[in-house]
Chains A and B, each alone.
Chain A
Amino acid sequence: MEHLLNMFVKSIFVENVIFAFFLGMCSYLAISKKVKTATGLGIAVVFVMVMTTPINYLILNYMLREGALAWIHPSLASVDLTFLAFILFISTIAGAVQMVEMVVEKFSPSLYNALGIFLPLITVNCAILGTSLFMQEREYGFLETGVFSVGSGIGFFLAIVLLAAIRERLKYSKIPDGLQGLGIAMIVTGLMALAFLSFSGIQL
């Protein structure tokens, strides 16, 4: 139990997908001009992450790993399909994104328009694929995978909403012309990552 709690806190604050690994930067930088749209994208990412990582876990452990297919027939025990991991992971993610897109279009057309191309592009958001691949590489169990995906999702959500709030405030700053937009967002992200270092090394 303590182990899971530790992992949850770690995946939000210490090993934040944005501030520690710099994954998913494209949508993070593009959809962080307003807190409202950033919140929308953040929730969508959390949803997709929480949906797909456990599904990918099941796919990986009951279909792909060496010996995983033994439940069909003992003669398949030596089959190793892990080379298919990337393509199958992306397919699940694409499916989940398709669902999110339909829901958002139906219930919040304004958010759908605000997110534009970046909503379908969640499919190729490296933070999401990254979470699935971390799950594979670190050999998490099912419960751990669930906790880890929720934590990573919240971490991304927190990062994008914080950046959006800061950028809303920076609207009143006199930023040099050459740094307007993405330039200053990169610098702000760096400074935020520095502040998030306060959690590194935390032991619950």
Chain B
Amino acid sequence: MKILRNLIDKIKPNFVKGGKLEKWYPAFEAMETFLFSPGEVTTNKVHVRDAVDLKRTMITVVIAMIPTLLFGIWNVGYQHYLAYGMEMTHMDYFLFGLQKVVPIIVVSYSVGLGVEFIFAVVKGHAVSEGYLVTGLLIPLVLPVTIPLWMVALAAIFCTLMGKEIFGGTGMNFMNPALLARAFLFFAFPAFMSGDIWTDLSPESGQVILDAYSGATNLVAYDVNYQHIQSVSDMFFGFEQGSIGETSVLACLIGAFILVITGIGSWKIMVSVFAGAALMGLFFNGIAPVDDPTNYMHTPFYYHWLMGGFAFGAVYMATDPVTAAHTEKGKWVYGLLIGGLIVIIRAFNPAYPEAVMMVILLMNVHAPLIDHIVVQNHIKKRLRRAAQ
């Protein structure tokens, strides 16, 4: 530690005002404050002091994502060996997953942070920590077979178009990680749907099982909802899908961390689940009786368990920047997300997985929801004042 401190102190004069590398100060500052607590104190007027700053907030979210990440890594290996019909130890599953997932994470972080650094240096502001979360969310919502250069492209697009163009962390109106996924989904559809959810790199002396099917439960469900895996499999996450989305249990652990620390809004999480349940029950009610395979018959908890629903509700919809800001607005926002997901899953064969698109759509609507809530509040106060 001491050596590091000394090194930083030695090179510091180059970066401060008047130094040779003055331009690079934001990059230097980001590294220094990442490693050590800064020694400066505020010089202007009184501040409210709190231990929770942006860095702490972001790190908490990253910690909340660890369960899904670990399970995702294990599941990548599990699905791989399952397709070849091989029984291996948990360690083997995990090591195989590690070998596939770590490169994606490294690319996502290095490329995205690279863009952030360039912007910070050019615009002369501090590098912000927002990308710590986005950079981990991107790998978790992508299939494991995605080529690394596409991950890099998506990371550049979402940092640039989703965030930096609006001024950086906290100023955007659309969730950058989802934007990255949507970008890849529409730019390279062949790599984002179909038989891509399991890594099928060759295994010596083994052939893929005849029974192997590359379809996720959502695709199977579109044909006939009764053909999908058991409820417990979907809950624990022994299914195919994007790296981080399969396990509902892991998402719930993450949700617990987010709610306990007060970083994720429980109102949004609850209302997303409630919205899907209400819409699911409504569809059950109006579903045609003479057609028992109609997808409107799907029990509502299937919607909770399938695909990225839990992941979206816990990590994506609760993004404090792009969600509705007002408390009443959060309920409306969440209910609409849940309801629309079920509607689009049922009626739109083009997107069996609706979570990503619906959250982006509601990101667009969130400012309007807030506006209406605030205006209503103003009207109510005015009426009360007039009495």
Once the chains bind, are A170 and B371 in contact (CB under 8 Å)?
Answer: no
Please state if A174 and B347 are interface contacts (CB–CB under 8 Å).
no
Q: Which residues of A contact B167 (CB under 8 A)?
A: 173-176
Q: Which residues of B in the span 321-356 have a Cβ within 8 Å of any Cβ on A?
A: 344, 347-351, 354
> Does B35 belong to the interface (CB within 8 Å)?
no
- Of the candidate stretches B12-20, B204-212, B256-264, B359-367, the one touching chain A is B359-367
B171/A194 in contact, CB under 8 A:
no
Q: Which of A170, A174, A184, A198 contacts B360 (CB 8 A)?
A: A198
Known contacts A174-B167, A195-B360, A197-B357; A168/B367 CB under 8 A: yes
Bound complex: CA of A32 vs CA of B137, how far in Å?
Answer: 33
| B341 and chain A: residue at smallest CB distance | A198
- Name the CB-closest residue of B to A203: B347
Q: Are A201 and B351 touching (Cβ within 8 A)?
A: yes
CB distance from B321 to the nearest CB of A (A): 10
- Residues of A98-148 at the interface with B, using a CB-CB cut-off of 8 Å, are none
A168 and B351 contacting across the interface, CB-CB below 8 Å: no
Q: Is the CB of A195 within 8 A of B368?
A: no
Mark A147-191 against chain B: 1 for CB-CB distance below 8 A, else 0: 000000000000001100110111011111001000010011001
| CB neighbours of A175 from chain B (8 A) | 165-167, 171
Per-residue contact bits, chain B 164-186, to A (CB 8 Å; 1 contact, 0 not): 01111001111000010010001
CA of A172 to CA of B348, assembled, Å: 36
A187 CA to B171 CA, complexed, in Å:
14
What A residues does B367 contact at CB under 8 A? 162, 165-166, 168-169
B168 contacts A174, C-beta separation under 8 Å: yes
B199 at interface, CB cutoff 8 A: no
A85 interface residue per 8 A CB criterion: no
Determine the distance from Cα of A203 to Cα of B357 in the docked complex, in whole angstroms.
17
- B-contacting residues, A72-86, CB 8 Å: none
Interface of A is mostly: helix
Q: Residues of B contacting A198 with CB < 8 Å?
A: 344, 348, 351, 354, 357-358, 360-361
Q: Do A191 and B351 contact each other (CB < 8 Å), given the known contacts A165-B368, A174-B171?
A: no
- Contacts A169-B173, A169-B367 hold; do A184 and B165 have CB atoms under 8 A apart? yes
User: Shortest distance in angstroms between B149's beta carbon and chain A's nearest beta carbon?
Assistant: 21
For the complex formed, measure the closest distance between the CB of A7 and the CB atoms of chain B, giving whole angstroms: 15
Nearest Cβ in chain A — how far from B79, in angstroms? 28
**Total count of chain A residues near the partner, CB < 8 A:** 30
Name A179's closest neighbour in chain B (CB-CB): B165
The answer to whether B161 has its CB under 8 Å from any CB of chain A is yes
Contact of A191 among B161, B348, B354 (CB under 8 A): B161
* Total number of residue pairs linking A and B with CB closer than 8 Å: 91
Residue from A169, A188, A200 in contact with B350 in the complex, judged by beta carbons closer than 8 Å: A200
CA of A201 to CA of B174, assembled, Å: 23
Nearest B-chain residue to A35, judged by Cβ: B371
A192 located at the interface, meaning its Cβ lies under 8 Å from any Cβ of chain B in the complex:
yes
Whether the pair B364, A195 counts as a contact (CB closer than 8 A) is: yes
Chain B residues lying within 8 Å of A174, measured Cβ to Cβ, are 166-168, 171
What residues of B have a CB within 8 angstroms of the CB of A1 in the complex?
none
Q: In this assembly, does A87 line the interface, its C-beta being within 8 Å of a C-beta of chain B?
A: no
Residues on B with C-beta less than 8 A from A71 are none
Task: Check A187–B368 contact: CB distance below 8 A.
Answer: no
Q: Which residues on the A side are within 8 Å of B161 (C-beta)?
A: 187, 191
A29-45 interface code vs B (CB 8 A; 1 in, 0 out)? 00000010000000000
Known: A188-B173, A202-B347. A170 touches B354 (CB 8 A): no
The yes or no answer to B370 lying at the interface (CB within 8 A) is: yes
A196-B361 in contact (CB<8A): yes
Is B182 within 8 A of A176, CB to CB? no
In the assembly, what is the distance between CA of A179 and CA of B164, in Å?
12
| Residue of A with least CB distance to B162 | A191
**Chain B residues near A184 (CB-CB < 8 A):** 165-166
Please determine whether B173 and A161 come into contact, CB atoms closer than 8 angstroms. Answer: no
B165 touches A195 (CB 8 A): no
The digit string for B11-30, where 1 denotes a CB below 8 A from any CB of A, is: 00000000000000000000
Q: List 15 A-B contacts (CB under 8 A).
A: A162-B364, A165-B370, A166-B368, A168-B371, A170-B166, A174-B171, A187-B165, A194-B182, A194-B186, A196-B361, A198-B348, A198-B357, A198-B361, A202-B347, A204-B347
B-to-A contact residues, CB < 8 Å: 123, 161-162, 165-168, 171-174, 179, 182, 186, 344, 347-351, 354, 357-358, 360-361, 363-365, 367-368, 370-371
A residues within 8 Å of B by Cβ? Answer: 35, 161-162, 165-166, 168-170, 172-176, 179, 184, 187-188, 191-192, 194-204
Would you list the 5 A-B pairs with minimal beta carbon distance, nearest first? A201-B350, A198-B357, A174-B167, A173-B171, A165-B367
